[in-house]
Amino acid sequence: MLKSCTIKGRCLGFLLLIYLFCGMMAGNPWKAIAGGPSSENSVNCDMQQGPCTKHLGDMIVTLDILPKPVMAMKDLTFTLTVSGKNLSSEPLMDLGMPGMNMGPNRVELKRVKEDVFEGQGVIVRCPSGKRTWKATVTFPQTGKVEFVFDVIY
């Protein structure tokens, strides 16, 4: 420990150890210092630039959110386009934050064309200040895809 470096009676070395420990609990011991993303918060979609596409087996799933820029606390339209498989039922979409239980925030998707589904929803502002969100789209009896993206506060 660094005995000579104290601020108001607290050792900076001890504070640094606590800071690093918090980073380790988040999955990356250097995140607190370097500011790098942890694996659970890895953004895989730049929703601000346009739609994002994922593959699920033979299906191609594209998600778009309007209006742009995608902002928290605004009414948003979620458009899901599915190709490669005829769906007999609507997919399910849940909004949340990676690595955090946010409670239910489901976007009810309705079929607007043979392969296009739309729904309305709101992405809430997280008190922690984190801006990374995910939309988990579940296709009953097929599987799910996750779109991880940043929103603007």
3-state secondary structure of 40: helix
- Which pLDDT tens digit goes with each residue over 28-65? 433 333 334 444 458 999 999 999 999 999 999 999 99
Helices (runs of H) and strands (runs of E) counted in the chain: 2, 11
Q: Are 9 and 15 in contact (CB under 8 A)?
A: no
- Which pLDDT tens digit goes with each residue over 63-86? 999 999 999 999 999 999 999 998
Give strand pairing partners of 79. Answer: 64, 118
The residue-averaged pLDDT of 13-31 equals: 39
Nearest to 96 by CA among 126, 67, 133: 133
Give strand pairing partners of 71. Answer: 152
User: What pLDDT shows up at residue 131?
Assistant: 94
User: What pLDDT shows up at residue 11?
Assistant: 38
In the chain, list all ranges with CATH 2.60.40.1930: 40-150
- Which pLDDT tens digit goes with each residue over 84-108? 998 989 999 999 999 888 888 999 9
Instruction: Please give the angle made by the CA atoms of 94, 57 and 38, to the nearest 5 degrees.
Output: 50
Give strand pairing partners of 89. Answer: none
113 compared with 6, residue with greater pLDDT: 113
Buried (b) or exposed (e) across 117-141, using 16+ Cβ within 10 A? Answer: bbbebebeebeeebbbbbbebebee
Indicate the CATH number for domain 40-150.
2.60.40.1930
